[in-house]
């Protein structure tokens, strides 16, 4: 309940402060930069070294990448069909594909399945969504934000210099390592800032009246993320005959709202910032209902 309260309060405060003009127009960008350069890397360094691999826990990883790939292809072809602009397509390739599998996933999954399911949440999130954010997310933000053709060498250089990706490389090297208490305390404090700051940034950019031309891509993003993604996960589990807790948790993770940090990446890259924030803000609210439906269907 506390997590849900924080979600609503932080978005509401950001929205109110934005309407009052309490922050400058650059405030969301500043908050997003703090998240990408400090909060997100701290979270990766804190969580990845704690993971251990086994056959069962690879189910969430497989489903995470499969669902994201199918979602990305769906968004790409729909964007081509409706002739969305490059900026709008880039926005949808981020926020309609990457899910909020940690800060919504953890409280929602634990509420439905208990704390014993959280290990699978971390596998789906850390080895699926977060790696995708660092690699796929970086590629999308660079490719769709560029007005010119990008050289592969330049693209690779930007990917490997992306702070969360650098943190990921370090974290994978440190798997199984226990940090000294003082270092872990610092990482916990820094990583804990990602939720309130990201939610406030979403609220600052949230608009209840979207321009007419943004209604269609807004609808496409939410249908793909909240309906298509969990259905794809269900079909994959049925095809492979997976009916375990790991499979059910993965389906729930696939049904989560758009990732807040994906909207931060889109905003920093200039990929339809207002649209990206609206998709995340409304997606979080709507997902509280759609995840209940998904849970009902799989249990």
Query: What would the pLDDT profile of 172-191 be if each residue is shown by its tens digit?
Result: 888 788 899 999 999 999 98
What lies within 8 Å, CB to CB, of 265 at 6+ separation is 32, 36, 94, 133, 137, 138, 141
Which residue did the predictor score with more confidence, 222 or 21?
222
Six-digit token string for 243: 């009916």
pLDDT over 70 (residue 284): yes
pLDDT of 194: 81
* CB crowding 88-121: b at 16 or more within 10 Å, else e: bbbbbbbbbbbbbbbbbbbbbbeebbeeebbbbb
| Distance separating alpha carbons of residues 8 and 189, to the nearest angstrom | 22
Cα-based distances in Å from 74 to 92, 96, 181, 225, 282: 10, 10, 45, 11, 21
- Confidence at residue 89, expressed as pLDDT on a 0 to 100 scale: 96
Which pair of structure tokens corresponds to residue 123? 């596998």
pLDDT tens sequence across 105-128:
887 888 888 878 887 888 898 789
Contacts of 187 (CB under 8 A, 6+ apart): 42, 43, 45, 46, 179
Alpha helices (runs of H) in the chain, residue ranges in sequence order: 2-20, 27-34, 40-47, 58-81, 86-95, 105-113, 118-124, 130-132, 138-145, 152-160, 163-173, 181-191, 194-205, 212-223, 229-240, 245-254, 260-268, 273-298
Residue in the structure block whose two tokens are 């360094």? 45
The residue to which tokens 């005959």 are assigned: 241
**Maximum Cα interatomic distance, the chain, rounded to a whole number of Å:** 53
Residue 291 CA to residue 273 CA, distance in Å, equals: 26
DSSP bridge partners of 99: 258
Q: CA of 91: how far to CAs of 23, 100, 145, 175, 278, in Å?
A: 24, 15, 10, 33, 11
Distances (CA, A) of 103 to 2, 34, 111: 12, 17, 13
Query: pLDDT (tens digit, 9 = 90+) per residue, 248-264?
Result: 999 999 999 999 888 88
Instruction: Tell me: pLDDT of 296 over 70.
Output: yes
> Is pLDDT at 43 greater than 90 in this prediction?
no
Domain ranges of the chain: 55-175+209-298
For residue 207, the model assigns a pLDDT of 66
The tokens of 89 are what? Answer: 């397509």
- Report the range of poorest mean pLDDT among 25-34, 61-70, 218-227, 255-264: 25-34
Residue 148 pLDDT > 70: no
């Amino acid at each position: 309940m506390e997590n849900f309260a924080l979600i609503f309060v932080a978005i509401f405060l950001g929205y109110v402060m934005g309407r009052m003009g309490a922050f400058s127009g650059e405030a969301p960008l500043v908050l997003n930069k703090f998240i990408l350069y400090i909060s997100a890397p701290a979270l990766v360094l804190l969580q990845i070294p704690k993971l251990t691999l086994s056959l069962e826990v690879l189910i969430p990883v497989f489903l995470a990448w499969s669902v994201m790939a199918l979602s990305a292809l769906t968004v790409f072809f729909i964007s081509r069909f409706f002739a969305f602009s490059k900026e709008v397509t880039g926005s949808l390739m981020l926020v309609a594909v990457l899910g909020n599998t940690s800060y919504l996933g953890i409280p929602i999954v634990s509420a439905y399945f208990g704390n014993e399911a959280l290990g699978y949440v971390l596998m789906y999130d850390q080895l699926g969504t977060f790696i995708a954010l660092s690699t796929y997310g970086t590629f999308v933000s660079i490719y769709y934000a560029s007005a010119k053709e990008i050289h592969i060498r330049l693209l690779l250089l930007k990917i490997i210099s992306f702070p969360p990706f650098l943190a990921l490389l370090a974290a994978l090297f440190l798997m199984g390592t226990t940090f000294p208490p003082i270092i872990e305390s610092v990482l916990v404090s820094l990583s804990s800032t990602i939720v309130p700051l990201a939610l406030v940034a979403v609220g600052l950019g949230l608009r209840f009246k979207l321009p007419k031309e943004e209604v269609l891509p807004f609808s496409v993003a939410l249908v793909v993320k909240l309906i298509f993604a969990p259905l794809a996960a269900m079909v994959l589990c049925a095809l492979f005959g997976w009916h375990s807790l790991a499979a059910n948790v993965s389906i729930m993770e696939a049904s989560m709202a758009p990732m807040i940090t994906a909207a931060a990446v889109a905003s920093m890259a200039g990929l339809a910032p207002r649209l990206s924030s609206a998709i995340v803000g409304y997606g979080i609210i709507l997902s509280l209902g759609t995840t209940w439906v998904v849970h009902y269907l799989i249990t």
